[in-house]
Amino acid sequence: MRIQIFNQKTQKSLDFGTESFRFKIYINPFLILLLSMKFDLHVHSEYSKDSKSSHDDILKTARKRGLDGFAICDHDTVEGGLACKKRALELGLELTVIPGVEVSSSKGHILVLGVSQNIEPRLSPEETIERARNLGGTVIIPHPFKKSSHGIGSFEGLDIDAVEVFNSRCLFNGANRKAAAEAKKLGIPEVAGSDSHVPEMVGQAYTEIDAPENTLDAVLEAIQEGKVSPAGKNTPTPIILKQMSGSARRKIKKKLFRKA
């Protein structure tokens, strides 16, 4: 058990215990017990065309990795997240599945968490975020400076809740470092996600979230309030290269099909 006592007046804390279970206690002017939980905020399932991860396999890996939950963010559809959330409930698992979507805006990808309706792709980032807000979504910019994954680039001026500053699928960490630098400059909360397209990489990167309970609403509120920190490690290079080659083959087949 890991317990952290934080005094809001003196800004000092005591931290003790193990990494297997974590608590953070804030004191003065009142006492609040916060669970420190591990969430992978960027996971793809078989509902994404470039992923073959079944929901059962994702759930199995999440439990094995010690995650408290994760967000399913399939490309331009919320159906995968909703189905995975339902499956976790059917199995009686103590995992919080956040239904989400990775929306293809006109300038790059945008993650929207906690929504049950699709958002039209290819809108401007501003229009996409406005649609997300109308649906009550939590907005995160993923891998902003990773051009090969349709990064949006600079996110200055956008109405967002957090930035993915550690994406485990980055072959080199330059894009992650650049995202972290801009997030710090703008004072935007920093999160991490595996961007997993294969089940064994779920939880390779994750976000530590401090919330009073492991529920969908509490976790999303904690993200919006910036009670988050990125963690994890890079996806092994052979797996990244394998996924990149698979993506290249799909693009070639798509072009050949169009010509035919």
Domain that holds residue 20: 1-30
Number of structural domains in the chain: 2
- DSSP letter string, the chain: -EEEEEETTTTEEEEEE-SSSEEEEEESSS-EEEEEEEEEEEE--TTSTT----HHHHHHHHHHTT-SEEEEEEET-SHHHHHHHHHHHHTT-S-EEEEEEEEE-SSSEEEEES-SS---TT--HHHHHHHHHHTT-EEEE-STT-GGGT-----TT---SEEEEEETT-SSTHHHHHHHHHHHHHT--EEEE--BSSGGGTTSEEEEEEESSSSHHHHHHHHHTT-EEEEE-PPPHHHHHHHHHHHHHHHHHHHHHHH-
Q: Tell me: do 13 and 75 sit in the same domain.
A: no
Q: Tell me: do 145 and 89 sit in the same domain.
A: yes
Q: Tell me: do 8 and 60 sit in the same domain.
A: no
Q: Tell me: do 197 and 215 sit in the same domain.
A: yes
CATH number, domain of 107, equals 3.20.20.140
pLDDT of the residue at 13: 54
pTM of the model: 0.84
Mean pLDDT by 10 residues, the chain (260 residues): 48 52 53 82 96 96 97 98 98 97 98 98 98 98 94 98 96 94 98 96 97 97 98 89 67 58
Q: Tell me: do 10 and 63 sit in the same domain.
A: no
pLDDT of the residue at 45: 98
Q: Tell me: do 2 and 95 sit in the same domain.
A: no
pLDDT of the residue at 24: 56
Q: Tell me: do 13 and 47 sit in the same domain.
A: no
Q: Tell me: do 81 and 179 sit in the same domain.
A: yes
Q: Tell me: do 18 and 84 sit in the same domain.
A: no
pLDDT of the residue at 15: 55
